[in-house]
Amino acid sequence: MKRIITFLFATGLCAALATGCKEEYTTYSDAEYVMFSDSVSLNMVLENQDYFTVPVSSTRACDYDRTFGVEVIDKGSTAIEGLHYRLLSNSVTIPAGKRSAEVRVRTYYNEFEPADTLQFNLRLVMPEQLDWSLYPGQSRVRMLKGCTFHAEEFTGWCVVTSTFLQSYPGVENTSIQRLIRTELDPKEPNTVILHSWLFTGYDIKLTFDPSDPSLPLVSMPEDQIMSDELSVFGQINGDNKILVTNSPSYYSFFDACTTNVKLWSHVYVKNLGTPVGTVGTFYNIMEWISDEEADRLELEEGMKKYE
């Protein structure tokens, strides 16, 4: 699920009320306003993180420092100040000649559960004439836990649930779920091999991109063979190979906290390298489990292990 946050930026709406302010470029407003840059701000809480910042903006630059108070509004807050977070300062200063500053927030990583999305509300304490009714001096600050990625945690037993198997179970699948074995690719970094992913004998590779904790993406190399056509479709449309990669239309994500992957796959057929047709786009959930849980699923629920 892609986390998309719409930020309400107040830029290019500048001018001057306070003495000593100077206009830097032509705009269609003549007032000085101060506000949070984001009316809603989403922030990752990361291990070994010193702090994250909530930006503050002004419509004008002034030739003197401007300091404003910052207060937490209890109403609507689900995070507890002092337990989940604390402000490093209860004031913020926009330096002379600048239009922006930052409120710094320290978080306590171990107090967040993987599924938590906690929030608190901030308000700027400032003269009333600086508060713009269109962009009031408040911000809802949301926080969610971002666990450190370790590729080794995405190895071992994995439960795969796929809408492809719902539409095309082939001759071997009687369920939309499979219990498969996975291991690290010895050659490619941050890549795991999914043995017999949807069909026995056909291994698929999955690559993780942990470079941006707020956008933990996964991808599949192109033209991976996930099965033959005959045993799945009952006929051959191309060169008897069903190919798969990640969908170019949807983002696919991993969650390092709960060790699972939400993958949108693009399935297609070629003949000697020439595209024949698209089978479709299918949603897949992969959840890594312990050896004990895999044994339980095999014994109590009759799930077959594919290695």
pLDDT in tens, 270-291: 998 999 999 999 999 999 999 9
| CATH topology (fold) of 21-146 | Immunoglobulin-like (2.60.40)
Whether the CB-CB separation of 227 and 234 falls below 8 Å is answered with no
In the predicted model, residues of the chain with pLDDT beneath 50 are 1-28
Going by C-alpha positions, the residue among 144, 157, 281 that lies closest to residue 215 is: 144
User: For 214, how many CA atoms within 13 A lie in the half-sphere containing its CB?
Assistant: 11
Predicted local confidence at residue 2, as pLDDT = 29
Predicted local confidence at residue 260, as pLDDT = 96
pTM beyond 0.75:
no
Predicted local confidence at residue 29, as pLDDT = 52
User: For 35, how many CA atoms within 13 A lie in the half-sphere containing its CB?
Assistant: 24
Domain positions in the chain are 21-146, 151-306
Whether the CB-CB separation of 71 and 90 falls below 8 Å is answered with yes
Cite the beta strand spans of 166-249 per DSSP E.
177-184, 191-194, 204-209, 217-219, 224-227, 242-246
